[in-house]
């Protein structure tokens, strides 16, 4: 299996160029559903240790439906599929540029939750225009065991997020274990207390948001696998901008600098969407880290990935 690895503001992406499963025809959402239903072992063997890393997101390239799209791409992590992924879209664009398949300018990618555009500025810089993002519920309070009441918004930015400013401790890299524990408890409390995204969707990401120097805000983002996002989370900050826009706290076109827990940043802005939400643009940087062939040797007891359920 041929892959190219990259990181976007610290968060790893693995683009699968060949050797992935055949997903047949149909919409991107149908093909993504097939990947999740029939090829969970493939996803885990590519993403989990010993070949991958807990924070890694896979990007499986598939033929696009529209002739003006460069590629279709299905994102997944150790816990399953992601609808969209901001950092992995930037990583995929930088990877396609590394391969000479795209050059500077505007390109379209298809994801299971809709088309997105990528503006490639240089070998390492790209802006992506995300799917329409919106807030579903404002100021939801959940009782979190060990933490007490936690209040936040439930919003969509290509994935489902609970975004809260109720912090268990300062947002600093030295507190990552405590922040992970608090967000895991919060996510479980949301589920136990019946909170979902649209159509009963699992709220699989939790964002803790706080003030910081040199940016508009800093975040800690829990991802579905239980890993934290090293980047400022493109879909998560899209969801945040939808909340700020709904509250009249950020105007269209005004830049928002979002810092991650490790200190990396994205700059975002938005335009109004057609359905009452917003269309965010996310600017960030990515670097290719490896070109590799993955081996799955017969008899390897850990071929399926360590920690894979
Ligand atoms: O950048 O959207 C993102 C993302 C989601 C999960 C990890 N990164």
Q: Is the CB of 260 under 6 A from ligand 1?
A: no
pLDDT at position 28, please? 96
List Cβ neighbours of 105 (8 Å cut-off, separation of 6 or more): 119, 120
List Cβ neighbours of 149 (8 Å cut-off, separation of 6 or more): 141, 142, 143, 166
Question: Helix or strand or coil: residue 78?
Answer: coil
- pLDDT, tens digit (0-9, with 9 covering 90-100), for 149-179: 999 999 999 999 999 999 999 999 999 999 9
**Residue to probe by mutation, ligand 1, list 94, 156, 221, most atoms within 8 Å of CB:** 221
- pLDDT, tens digit (0-9, with 9 covering 90-100), for 38-52: 998 899 999 999 999
* Sign of the dihedral defined by the CA atoms of residues 205, 207, 213, 214, in that order: positive
- Ligand 1 centre distance from Cα of residue 235 (Å): 6
Q: Encoding tokens for residue 241?
A: 């901008």
Q: Is the CB of 87 under 6 A from ligand 1?
A: yes
Q: Is the CB of 206 under 6 A from ligand 1?
A: no
Q: Is the CB of 229 under 6 A from ligand 1?
A: yes
- Ligand 1 centre distance from Cα of residue 213 (Å): 23
pTM of the model: 0.96
pLDDT at position 78, please? 86
Q: Which residues of the chain have pLDDT under 50?
A: none
């Amino acid at each position: 299996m041929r892959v190219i690895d990259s990181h976007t503001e610290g968060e790893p992406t693995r683009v699968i160029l060949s050797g992935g499963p055949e997903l047949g025809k149909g919409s991107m959402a149908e093909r993504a559903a097939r990947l999740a239903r029939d090829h969970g072992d493939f996803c885990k063997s590519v993403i989990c240790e010993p070949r991958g890393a807990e924070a890694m997101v896979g990007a499986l390239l598939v033929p696009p439906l529209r002739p003006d799209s460069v590629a279709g791409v299905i994102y997944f992590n150790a816990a399953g599929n992601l609808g969209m992924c901001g950092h992995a879209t930037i990583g995929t664009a930088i990877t396609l540029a590394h391969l000479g398949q795209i050059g500077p300018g505007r390109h379209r990618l298809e994801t299971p939750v809709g088309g997105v555009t990528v503006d490639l500025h240089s070998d390492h810089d790209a802006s992506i225009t995300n799917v329409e993002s919106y807030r579903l519920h404002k100021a939801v309070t959940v009782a979190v065991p060990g933490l007490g009441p936690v209040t936040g918004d439930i919003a969509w930015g290509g994935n489902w997020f609970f975004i809260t400013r109720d912090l268990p401790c300062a947002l600093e890299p030295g507190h990552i274990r405590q922040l992970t524990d608090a967000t895991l408890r919060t996510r479980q409390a949301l589920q136990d207390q019946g909170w979902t995204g649209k159509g009963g969707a699992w709220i699989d990401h939790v964002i803790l948001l706080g003030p910081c120097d040199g940016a508009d805000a800093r975040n800690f983002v829990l991802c579905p696998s239980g890993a934290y996002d090293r980047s400022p989370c493109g879909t998560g900050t899209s969801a945040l901008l939808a909340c700020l826009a709904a509250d009249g706290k950020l105007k269209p076109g005004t830049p928002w600098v979002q810092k991650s827990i490790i200190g990396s940043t994205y700059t975002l802005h938005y335009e109004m969407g057609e359905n009452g939400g917003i269309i965010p643009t996310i600017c960030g940087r990515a670097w290719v880290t490896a070109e590799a062939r993955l081996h799955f040797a017969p008899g390897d007891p850990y071929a399926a990935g360590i920690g894979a359920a």
